[in-house]
Structure 1
Amino acid sequence: MQLFYNPTISSSDKDISFNKEESRHIVKVLRMKEGDIFKITNGKGVFFDAEIINANPKDCSVKILSEEMQPPLPYQLHLIVAPTKLNDRYEWFLEKATEIGVTEITPVICHHSERKVIKPERYEKILQSAMKQSLKAYLPILNEAITFKDFIDSKTISDELKCIAHCEDGTTNKKPLKSVLLPNKNTSILIGPEGDFSHEEIEMAKIAGYIPVALGESRLRTETAAIVACHSVAFINE
């Protein structure tokens, strides 16, 4: 099944046109022609069946045949992850988390962060590509980068499960992540940079109600830790 993304498509649309980039991909790369049928999602949970009525590589247009609302994930997972020094590692995390199942992502700038600037436009394209590749109807929300303190200060009281995964030595009250996760429970998980969270950040998170958790015996890279956390939440909801 071929899946395409159009954020503006709605139930009232009878036909739509793709931009030049998508049109070229449909006609020149995939070699699709008039009469061919594929699916489109708006990233908000709807699959639309569409038939090509004009296979123009500069302005491909389709008519909408039907639509089907997809059920959302039984949980909301918000991953708050520090950008990695090597940008391609963070992009890998974005791709894999989308494939596994995440609803919201926030890049957080910490005391030990070596990368403090991100490219949201590129990140959005990676999320869109991963959504299409994995045949999902929901596009994860990508928030603007924010400092750790501002993120903690901005969070209001809620009934979600809040965790912070860190590697600080001498901490004895960390619980295995799998022991605190609950099915069908909205969850937020903080993942720090290569240099880990600072002691002050860990204490700040604990005061704000974040549970210190461990992701296993090994010390994991930032992007690996984020994927382990993402998979753990998805696994408990299977």
Structure 2
Amino acid sequence: MLTCFAPDLQPTLATYTLSEEESKHAVRVLRLRPDAPVVLVDGHGTVATAFIADDNPKRCTLTITGRETIAPRPTYTHVAVAPTKNLDRMEWLVEKAVEVGIERLSFLRCARSERRDLKLERLEKIAVSALKQSGQAYLPQLDELIDFDKFLASLDPATTFIAHLEAGERTALAQVIGAAPRCCVLIGPEGDFSPSEIELALGRGVRPVTLGSSRLRTETAALAAVFTAQVVRELKS
């Protein structure tokens, strides 16, 4: 059954008109006709069932037959990553992180960053597509690119972890993530965080962690952090 994104879905609506993009996909691409069933999701926990009433390819109208509110997960996973020079790899990360389950994804401008600017429009569309494909009810928050030191100042160090490759004592993320219902994991650029950035984070009480013995690419490390957080918490629930 087709799932459509309906960000302005209201609890009292009996009908809903899809955006032009969603209408085109439903009517022209999938060739759905009146009475075809559709699922609507608003990205804030509401999921509605509906059927097509008017198959206008620019303003497809649906009749809503039922709705439910999905409770948010009891845990909150936040990953902050320095985007790679190749934007395709960040697009892959957004898609997979949404599928696995993440509440917030931030982008960091670090000393060794290869990418100094980032436009979210394309990434937001990929997040919506992954939301619909995976059956998730909540659309993650995507943050604009921000300098590492400014971002660090906004965090609670008690629930923040930094995954770096420098020498020193580090704990496996899987060993500490289960005790933190809310967490933020910091992932550096391809060249890793600079020594001064690591020192700044540790000085503020952020705990150093490792994601395993392999040297992971930036986007792989970020996804590994999301996956580890979800799996460990599910095992503990």
What TM-score do you get using the length of structure 2 for normalisation?
0.95
Report the alpha carbon displacement of residue 24 of structure 1 after superposing the two structures with TM. 1.1
- What count of residue pairs does the alignment treat as equivalent? 234
1:186 is matched with 182
Change (3 A) 1:12 1:183: farther
1:183 Cα deviation after fit: 5.5
SS in 2 for 1:216: coil
Matched, 1:202 2:198: yes
Letter in 2 for 1:124: E
Divergent runs of 4+, >6 A: none
Gaps of 5+ in 1: none
| Bigger fraction of residues in helix | 2
Which ranges of structure 2 fall in alignment gaps of 5 or more residues? none
Equivalent residue, structure 2, for 1:15:
15
Distance in 1 separating the partners of 2:106 and 2:232: 22
Q: Which residue of 2 aligns with 1:165?
A: 163
Aligned residue for 1:50? 50
- Residue pair 1:162, 1:211 contacting (<8 A) in 2 also: yes
In 2, the alpha carbon distance for the partners of 1:71 and 1:126 equals: 23
CA spacing shift, 1:184–1:214, aligned 2, 3 Å: closer
1:94 equivalent in structure 2: 94
Picking from 198, 221, 224, the partner of 2:220 is 224
Amino acid at match of 2:212: G
Aligned to 1:127: 127
The alpha carbon displacement at 1:162 in A equals: 1.1
User: Given that residues 75 and 183 in structure 1 are in contact (C-alpha distance below 8 angstroms), is that contact kept between their aligned partners in structure 2?
Assistant: no
Q: Does 1:27 align with 2:27?
A: yes
Q: Does 1:148 align with 2:148?
A: yes
Q: Which stretch of structure 1 is more off in the superposition, 107-116 or 14-23?
A: 14-23
Calculate the aligned-residue CA RMSD, in Å: 1.3
Using the TM superposition, give the Cα deviation of residue 73 of structure 1 relative to its aligned residue in structure 2, in angstroms: 1.6
Counterpart amino acid of residue 92 in structure 2: W
Contact in 1 for aligned 2:18/2:59 (Cα 8 Å): yes
2:148 and 2:20 mapped to 1: Cα distance?
A: 40
Q: Deviations over 1:122-143 (max 9, x none)?
A: 1100110110110111000011
Q: Name the SS of the counterpart of 1:136 in structure 2.
A: coil
Maintained 8 Å contact 2:40/2:47? yes
Identity of aligned residues (%): 41
8 Å CA contact 1:164–1:190 kept in 2: the answer is yes
Return the letter of the residue paired with 1:72. Answer: P
Distance 1:132 1:86 in 2: 25
Matched, 1:108 2:108: yes
Q: Kindly indicate whether the alpha-carbon contact (under 8 Å) linking 1:184 and 1:237 is maintained by their aligned counterparts in 2.
A: no
By how many angstroms is 1:203 displaced? 1.1
- Inter-partner Cα distance in structure 1 for 2:95 and 2:109: 20
Secondary structure of the corresponding residue to residue 10 of structure 2: coil
Query: What's the offset of the Cα at 1:204?
Result: 0.9
- TM-score under structure 1 normalisation? 0.95
1:37 aligns with 2:37: yes
2:79 match: 79
Q: CA deviation at 1:161?
A: 2.0
2-side partners of 1:26 and 1:166: how far apart? 45
Q: 1:236: which partner in 2? A: 232
Deviations 1:85-109 (A, max 9, x none): 1110111011100000100011011
Q: Secondary structure at the match of 2:144?
A: coil
Listed as ranges, the matches of 1:60-71 within 5 Å are 60-71=60-71
Deviation at residue 230 of structure 1 after TM alignment: 0.6
